[in-house]
Chains A and B, each alone.
Chain A
Amino acid sequence: MTTTKRRTGNEAQSETIQQPAAIVHPERNPGMPLDMEWVSRVHINRSAVERRAATMSTRRTVKKEWQAAWLLRAITCIDLTTLAGDDTPGNVLRLCAKARQPVRPEILQGLGANSLNVQVGAVCVYHNLVPVAVEALRGSDIPVAAVSTGFPAGQNPMEQKLAEIDASVKAGAAEIDIVISRAHVLTGNWQALYDEVRAFRLACGDAHMKTILATYELATLRNVGMASLVCMMAGADFIKTSTGKEPVNAVLPVGIVMVRAIRDYYEQTGFKVGFKPAGGIRSAKEALDWLILMKEELGNDWLHNTLFRIGASGLLSDIERQLSYFVTGHYAAAHYNPMV
């Protein structure tokens, strides 16, 4: 394809592709009254969604420079996460160091990307470790995210959940990843779900709220679609697939349903809600698949960490390995890349 000619006139040119490099923070979603008429119109055909998921990454791919650039972008969208019972200040400090310098300088050099100041989207920890992370990231503009509201099961009393949010915000968390009460979805009590998430949002104040649906436990894709809408109506800044603790976490079919709900919400209200797949995303290839999903279904605005995050920990290592290959032409041993 050596030559191409634009078929259409100037009017079409204005809406084409060159995006401004500057990141524009979207206006925050204020939420809206629960609209059950809209929620009940959600129709999801699982087989069709799965077909779309299966072909998403066979229809699109990026190679060479494009792949390297996309992987760098993926890094900026990572919520670098540790959520384990044995977390201590020690491993959280290490995580924060990696968050500031996710790629070896010589690789960035090789990519010609030193000036990008690549760093991850956020560091995500339990409440107890928020102060450690906040301290470790001081001076960077990397936000700290705290999982909250009885994460991961969300089976605590409501007052405790609200208190937990409040405590994390006070401790310096700029982002709160809340979990919804799955029971509200499974019993069809959408009003209760709306009220709960609305209350969380108020408790978050200026902190951005990511709403974890724990999609595996919602049982059906239609539930996922309906819950996505209700959470956005209640004021979610992001909707997020999973806690990482369910048997199945971020998978593309679920992602497709959620991003389509985001698109629907944007078309109806004009507010852009972010999306965060979390759990199970371990390879660079998977990260690219999720970026492709965002670009195809939502557009380039959703390729920034203002509207897209990947909740992961091990992913970064694989991306670094791929970038190293691109720069050096051979595969690096795992121990060549600084561990997380």
Chain B
Amino acid sequence: MNVMDIFATMEYGPAPESAAPALQWIKERQPFGLFINNQWVTPASGQYIDSINPANGKALAQVAAANSADVDAAVAAARTAFETWGKTPGHVRARYMYAIARHIQKHSRLLAVLEALDNGKSIRETRDLDIPLVARHFYYHAGWAQLMSSELPGYEAVGVVGQIIPWNFPLLMMAWKIAPALAMGNTVVLKPARYTSLTALKFSEIMQEVGLPPGVVNILTGEASQVGEALVRHPDVNKIAFTGSTDVGRSIRRATAGSGKKLSLELGGKSPFIVFDDADLDSVVEGVVDAIWFNQGQVCCAGSRLLVQEDIADTLINKLRVRMEKLRLGDPLDKAVDMGAIVSPGQLKEIQRLVAQGVEEGAVMWQPSWACPTEGYFFPPTLFTNVAPSTSIAQVEIFGPVLVSMTFRTPAEAVALANNTRYGLAASVWSENINLTLDIAPRLKAGSVWINCTNMFDASSGFGGYRESGFGREGGKEGLYEYVRPAWEAQGKAQHAIVTNGAATSGEKTFEGMQSIAPEDDDEQTNEHSAWPANGGNGTTDLLPPIDRTPKLFIKGKQVRPDSGYSRDIVDPQQRVIGQVGEGNRKDIRNAVEAAHAASGWTNGTTHNRAQILYYIAENLAIRENEFARRIAQQTGRPLVDASGEVEVAISRLFSYGAWADKFEGVVHRPPLRGVVLAMNEAIGVIGMACPNEYPLLGFISLVAPAIAMGNTVVVIPSQQSPLSATDFYQVFETSDLPAGVVNIITGDRDTLCQVLADHDDVDAMWYFGSAEGSKLVELASAGNMKRTWVNYGHLRDWLEAEQGEGEEFLRESTQVKNIWVPYGE
């Protein structure tokens, strides 16, 4: 082209970033080995795989294919390194991490070019977004290493962490995984994605450059089926952190069930992008570009569902089409393209398949008129209109540059459409009315809500999902807890817990205890037996049989008979039957979950009100302190004074959560933008919980109180062995203004009922304090809807001790953090 011609046409020309330095770097090093103990190691299999440049389909480099033997070696290296790294002072770790951040910046262009070559994303994105965010992540977490001892007292590193990352943001996802892990004193074995290992290998060199102690970070390239699988199942790995598809996340949840491995999953999404009619529509258009055509739409939190208020839908769609005509797609190393290549032929085929399906389902597809390169794996930006919520393209994560649009009439309908998905990763809300946006944001089921912006990320602000988008957060202080555990747990001083009735089923039952359920007379305090004699000491009831008490189930604020029509005997340690409770079943659980959902007013109510009710429950329990103490003694055989102690702790605990109800507040993050990020602790929703067998009252209160204090509604399976404290509690709830459905109690066989709860797709979290087998059962079944789980793997905790029995751990399990990004400025 000559200058005169270009002067006339004013077209763009090529603006290539040179690949030469990066190609030279590859040439000098390949085939790449595995990075174990700060050494480059030949893979045990001797096998290598090609890394492909998706922009031309040609091999870029050969990288090692690790197998389970390599995983063993890397985990062993990490375990050895952990012995010292875990004890290394925070300041020393901070120095290393600061050095990593500096080195990322020093090699920023090489990393950016490698990433663009390997992944197919544009150099603009790798240069301006990926790599700066990587450096920022290490700077930020270097700070947490420095502050860990003062800001996270009582917590310790988890140990050896296995990390598996996706191909869409190879280096950035690695930073999100490695930075918090190292900051908290863990060591790492990380598997990059099959298609995109090169920046991880450059990162390995940086580990050598900064002199990180050997074994702290180990990088294993290769196939997921070999490396990922072995890592997930490795017995000496203490935690798995995974980012990727929901399907794989689900299988990891199942594979690790019952193993005691900590788990954080950042999975798929079908995020809504909501536009109200008073939005700045031209800015909305750019927002859509950033939402769905960023990284070719291969973004887990991509705003892939455009929800537009009906009156502006045509205007916005027209603007979008005009904008799409101007998008430029091509060589990822061209500095003037908006979109590069799709990562692999397989991914391209999947996008094509889903788009064809969308057309078949009757949606209207539109693509810009310009040409798309045929060499390499490219797919043009695509817009679907006339999309019904029921179609597959409206439901399925496409993971490509494909936007589906729908219209809504009212804010309520916008929320309903937005939440009409299994996922809950992110959402974007556009309106110039701050009242409207701040009203909508808390109602969206999403871990990140971006107001008048989209795809905003920063190390200071946690990122992660609701629902089937996974659990755990990355970034912010909230993300650190994924890489620590309570020190008491690590030190193994779990319990001097009293465990009674271990063999409750053995021996012959008798029914003599039945006649003396919960005597009302305070004079009986001196009686040291748990089962009370039929003839109370005061002589007035000598000839009268006691009035029968029949604890039913407690659903929707009412005492209801079990659906089964069966009852089960409750015995004391002497095998005397001291009562009978309803045998709950599947339908009772179903009804209880429905009741818990219907009580959502509790979630939206004020924290002050919740605090008042918790105090009121404590007040009403205190009135009946003796009765509850006797019941504990009766069920457990423990001395009355001991049982009284349990009641007193329970009352105190209710006060604790009454106190916390309006104090477990979120924080305001300050990422580098003019605005704020509100990290709100939100209720999870409906929590199913199985209470420990021991401490029939305190175990029950310790779980129910934090959950409802944070605004959850619960379905509780009380102590299977000693449920009468919970069933006695119906009356306390009934006299304490607790709204119907907030607490629902189903007695019966714990693990059978837990299976139903954990299988239930409308239960958002499951807590389980029972056996190791039951813990596994709960984690396995919870994989269905990726519900959050909190289980004890059969380990006991000392419920009497505040350190183990109450506090922030319980509050964190009761909440999930939503980060609401609010840029401002007029």
Contact = CB atoms under 8 A, between A and B. Distances in A.
A45 B6 contact: no
A59 B338 contact: yes
Which of B282, B371, B376, B380 has most A Cβ within 10 Å? B282
B429 to A, nearest CB: 12
Contact of A3 (B10, B128, B278, B374): B374
Given A3-B374, A65-B1, A113-B4, A48 B453 contact: yes
Interface in A8-33: 8, 12-13, 15-19, 21
B2 interface: yes
B12 A60 contact: yes
Contact of B7 (A12, A58, A69, A260): A69
Contacts of A68: 3, 6
Interface string B263-304: 000000000000000111111001100100000000000000
Contacts of B287: 48
B369 interface: yes
Contacts of A45: 279-280, 283, 430, 432, 452
A227 B14 CA distance: 38
Contact of B335 (A4, A47, A61, A73): A61
A4 B432 CA distance: 42
Contacts of A115: 4
A333 interface: no
Interface stretch (A123-131, A137-145, A295-303): A295-303
Interface in B142-187: none
Given A1-B375, A6-B371, A59 B12 contact: no
B367 interface: yes
B352 to A, nearest CB: 12
Which of A43, A62, A65 has most B Cβ within 10 Å? A43
Interface string A50-70: 111001001111111110111
A170 interface: no
Question: For chain A, which range describes its interface: under 10, 10 to 19, 20 to 34, or 35 or more residues?
Answer: 35 or more
A112 B4 contact: yes
Contact of A69 (B3, B55, B825): B3
A201 B4 CA distance: 37
Nearest to B11: A17
Interface string B3-35: 111111111111100000000000000000000
A13 B330 CA distance: 19
Interface in B350-377: 367, 369-376
A12 B369 contact: yes
A4 B373 CA distance: 4
Nearest to B372: A7
Interface string B546-570: 0000000000000000000000000
A5 B7 CA distance: 26
B12 A112 contact: no
Contacts of B523: none
A260 B373 CA distance: 31
Main secondary structure of the interface of B (DSSP, over half): loop
A220 interface: yes
Contacts of A16: 369-370
B366 to A, nearest CB: 11
Interface residues of B, number: 56
B806 interface: no
A215 to B, nearest CB: 14
Interface string A315-330: 0000000000000000
B780 interface: no
Nearest to B13: A66
A3 to B, nearest CB: 6
A263 B177 CA distance: 45
Contacts of B60: none
B666 interface: no
Nearest to A220: B826
B283 A3 contact: no
Which of A7, A13, A47, A296 has most B Cβ within 10 Å? A47
A44 interface: yes
Contact of A73 (B10, B430, B824): B10
Given A16-B369, A43-B281, A48-B283, A1 B9 contact: no
B330 A1 contact: yes
B411 to A, nearest CB: 17
B10 A47 contact: no
Contacts of B278: 43
Which of B12, B281, B375 has most A Cβ within 10 Å? B12
Given A43-B281, A72-B3, A61 B10 contact: no
A1 B331 contact: yes
B537 interface: no
A84 interface: no
A66 B4 CA distance: 10
Contacts of B7: 69, 72-73, 113, 116
Contact of B9 (A8, A19, A222): A19
A49 B674 CA distance: 13
Contacts of B601: none
Given A47-B453, A49-B283, A59 B4 contact: no
A18 B287 CA distance: 29
B124 interface: yes
A46 interface: yes
A111 interface: yes
B6 A65 contact: yes
A111 B3 CA distance: 6
Contacts of A55: 128
Contacts of A51: 286, 290, 453
A196 B608 CA distance: 57
Nearest to B286: A52
A291 to B, nearest CB: 8
B823 interface: yes
Given A1-B330, A112-B4, A300 B10 contact: yes
A2 interface: yes
B493 interface: no
A66 B8 CA distance: 11
Contacts of B374: 3-5
Contacts of B2: 65, 112
Contacts of B432: 43, 45
B326 interface: yes
Contact of A63 (B13, B452, B826): B13
Interface in B196-233: none
Give me the 9 closest cross-chain CB pairs, A-B, nearest first. Answer: A12-B369, A48-B283, A66-B13, A69-B6, A47-B823, A21-B8, A45-B280, A46-B825, A69-B7
Given A16-B369, A55-B128, A66-B11, 16 more contacts: A7-B367, A18-B9, A19-B8, A21-B8, A45-B432, A47-B825, A48-B453, A51-B286, A58-B128, A59-B336, A63-B13, A65-B13, A68-B6, A112-B4, A116-B4, A291-B10
